[in-house]
Amino acid sequence: MTVFNLGSINADLFYDVPHLIAPGETLAATRHFRGLGGKGANMSVAVARAASRVVHIGAVGADGRWAVDRLLEYGVDTRHIVEVDDPTGHAIIMVASDGENAILIHPGANHAVTETHIADALTEATEADTFLFQNEISSQVAGATQASARGMRVVYAAAPFDAQAVKAVLPLLDALVMNEVEARQLSDAIGVSLTDLPVRDIIVTLGADGCRWLNTDTGEDQTFPAIPVTPVDTTGAGDTFTGYLVAALDRGMPMEQAISLGQQAGAIMVTRHGTADVIPDLKDVQDARL
């Protein structure tokens, strides 16, 4: 009944600019804002907001203590976030006045997570717990291998993915969560259709069209419509959906209910500007009665 999330922690550094920067140009930003980001951190916040226990396994540099403090404020167990010599992972996000953006990512400390570090964190884990991971971090295969050996429920939010890494972990997974584009890329990259993947539960999110759940044991393939809302900012919808889904599965909820909760949280998320800092909590979800 605890989610151990091996995931990235990023500083999202936003800069408003008159236009996207050109080669050789020096440009002054008109506004700057720093937010907590990274798929890993977003999902840990979503799991905590969904009222499940979550232990984040990750790394930051000395410049990332604020990010760890913020995760702690949101209810994430941060004891297994280590401080390393590399800088904290970050994204430089330029947003032009016409709304176009350009993003530069540096994985930094996210790539300094080691097998031993994961093993330390997982000594606390039992069969009743869930191991969640994404692709923005090092030692994913080692982490999934250890979690699977401990009998944990293993869930991979495979985005953005590296086909070879995904192939190596597929046999260890209980569930795979991807958006439509990632699902297509995965099938193409490894030359196997979704229905033939060696994973029991495959969840494909379809944005405003909801999501699809493939149960490869029974062969059932169901689509669940999204909750109709007027979107203002779709960033973070997928991470919010996945965090809620995993929190619910970890508490023993059946898949249909977990999907329903994920879709309610995802729908609220697209009505809000921002990422980790605006993920709805369970009370927001209940009050919205979507």
Instruction: Using CB under 6 A, list all residues that contact ligand ADP.
Output: 179, 205-208, 210-211, 226-227, 229, 231, 234, 237-238, 241, 263, 266-267, 270
User: Minimal distance in Å, beta carbon 89 to ligand ADP?
Assistant: 19
- Helix or strand (DSSP H, E) at 259: helix 255-269
User: Minimal distance in Å, beta carbon 279 to ligand ADP?
Assistant: 12
User: Minimal distance in Å, beta carbon 269 to ligand ADP?
Assistant: 7
Residue 160: asked if its preceding bond is cis (omega within 30°), the reply is yes
The whole-angstrom distance between residue 135's C-alpha and the CA centroid of its chain comes to 9
> Can you read off the two tokens belonging to residue 44?
């840990």
The reply on whether position 277 binds Na ion by CB under 5 A is no
Q: Taking the CB of residue 252, how many other CB atoms lie within 10 A of it?
A: 9
Q: Is beta strand 81-83 parallel, antiparallel or unpaired with respect to 89-96?
A: unpaired
Q: Which is nearer to Na ion, 153 or 272 (CB)?
A: 272
User: Minimal distance in Å, beta carbon 270 to Na ion?
Assistant: 6
Pairwise CA distance, residues 47 & 258, whole Å? 12
x-or-dash string of contact with Na ion, 195-234, rule CB under 5 A: --------------------------------------x-
Pairwise CA distance, residues 290 & 284, whole Å? 10
The whole-angstrom distance between residue 236's C-alpha and the CA centroid of its chain comes to 9
Pairwise CA distance, residues 290 & 274, whole Å? 21
Partner from ligand ADP, Na ion, none contacting 233, C-beta within 5 to 8 A by type: Na ion
Partner from Na ion, ligand ADP, none contacting 266, C-beta within 5 to 8 A by type: ligand ADP
Interface region with Na ion, contact rule CB under 5 A, candidates 5-13, 108-116, 121-129, 267-275: 267-275
